[in-house]
Homo-oligomer: A and B are copies of this chain.
């Protein structure tokens, strides 16, 4: 349970006066997102999303906002931030950093992606990874192998013997593959099904770039496939995997070495989310309980990769 910031009509009018969007017609709160407050805003000029950043700091935000602008300008469907009269993406509203985005006007998250939707998502991610290495800003991955190690040490005392063994052996296994020379660039790092909007077979938008960072591109594909192409019991759906993988490779053909280490990446991506769920489970941040997901899901995904 977190609180969100109330924006009153007068405040919103004052904020909007720094953009050239005509008069405010209406606005409505959006009950989504754990860390930001969001409103749909309608003005004479169109439909927008107003985001107030409740946790991310002003120092971190330019990377994300500039990245979204860069991607939107390079045909990745995602929320395009609006520059204000001084050509900045970021303003203050009600004491919080705030930004305005073009509203994505169609689509919903899908629970059970179809083969066609997986194909389309693979194409979009491949295209993303073609252009993302040229984005000029840099942000390290805060959830990389060093974080894996620290987090494993925190959660190990809480695991049963079988799980503790699995975790220790997977960390040992992954250590052999660190520092590999693989193509890198900006990755989304959290392209789960709830971060993409589909209207039928149309991908309307990719959302939530607030974990984006510079890392191995193939790792991003593995994160995506682990979520989009698994059954609830953790097994990969080979049909969905093949079509997403193939459409991705059409955009960005993999090197022979990338093909070789692909099974390792799937395990690394499962490990990373098993660890963060274990951490959220055993060390919940205040007020975040209702969003905590059971870690068993990613343990099952990891196990099914190891056994396949």
Write the residues of chain A forming the contact surface with B, with a CB cutoff of 8 angstroms. 1-6, 8-9, 27-32, 34, 37, 39-40, 108-112, 160, 163, 193-194, 231-235, 278, 281-282, 284, 286-287, 289-290, 292-297, 299-300
User: Bound complex: CA of A65 vs CA of B21, how far in Å?
Assistant: 44
- For the complex, give the distance between the alpha carbons of A289 and B113 in Å: 12
Q: How far is the CA of A195 from the CA of B43 in the complex (A)?
A: 39
List of B residues within 8 angstroms of A109 by Cβ: 1, 289-290
11 A-B contacts (beta carbon < 8 Å): A1-B31, A1-B109, A2-B32, A4-B30, A108-B289, A109-B290, A111-B284, A111-B292, A160-B233, A194-B290, A294-B297
- Known contacts: A1-B30, A29-B37, A194-B290. The answer to whether A296 contacts B233 by CB under 8 A is yes
Contact assessment for B4 and A29 in the assembled complex, using a CB-CB cutoff below 8 Å: yes
Chain B residues lying within 8 Å of A290, measured Cβ to Cβ, are: 32, 109, 194
Residue of B nearest to A289 (CB): B109
Told that A1-B32, A112-B282, A160-B231 touch, could you supply 10 new A-B pairs with CB distance under 8 A?
A2-B30, A2-B32, A3-B31, A8-B9, A29-B29, A31-B37, A193-B289, A233-B296, A233-B299, A294-B294
Evaluate contact between A289 and B194: CB separation under 8 angstroms.
yes
In the complex this chain forms, how many copies of it are found? 2
Contacting pair A286 B108 (CB below 8 A): yes
Residues of B within 8 A of A3 (CB): 28-31, 40
Most chain B Cβ neighbours within 10 Å, of A29, A160, A232: A232
Question: Is the CB–CB distance between A296 and B296 below 8 Å?
Answer: yes
What's the nearest-Cβ distance from chain B to residue A122, in Å? 20
Residues A28 and B6 in contact in the complex (CB < 8 Å), given A163-B233, A232-B296, A297-B296 = yes
Q: Which of A1, A4, A28 has the most CB of B within 10 A?
A: A1
- Nearest 6 A-B pairs (CB), nearest first? A1-B32, A109-B289, A4-B29, A111-B284, A294-B297, A2-B31
Q: Is the CB of B6 within 8 A of A29?
A: yes
Could you tell me the distance in whole angstroms from the C-beta of A15 to the nearest C-beta in chain B? 15
Within the complex, the shortest CB–CB distance from A220 to chain B, in Å, comes to 21
Q: Given the known inter-chain contacts A296-B296, A300-B296, please indicate yes or no for A31 contacting B4, CB distance below 8 A.
A: yes
Contacts of A287 in B (CB 8 A): 108
Bound-complex Cα distance A260 to B39 (A): 53
A108 CB to nearest B CB, Å: 6
Contacts of A284 in B (CB 8 A): 111
User: Residue A282 contacts which of B111, B234, B292 (CB distance < 8 angstroms)?
Assistant: B111
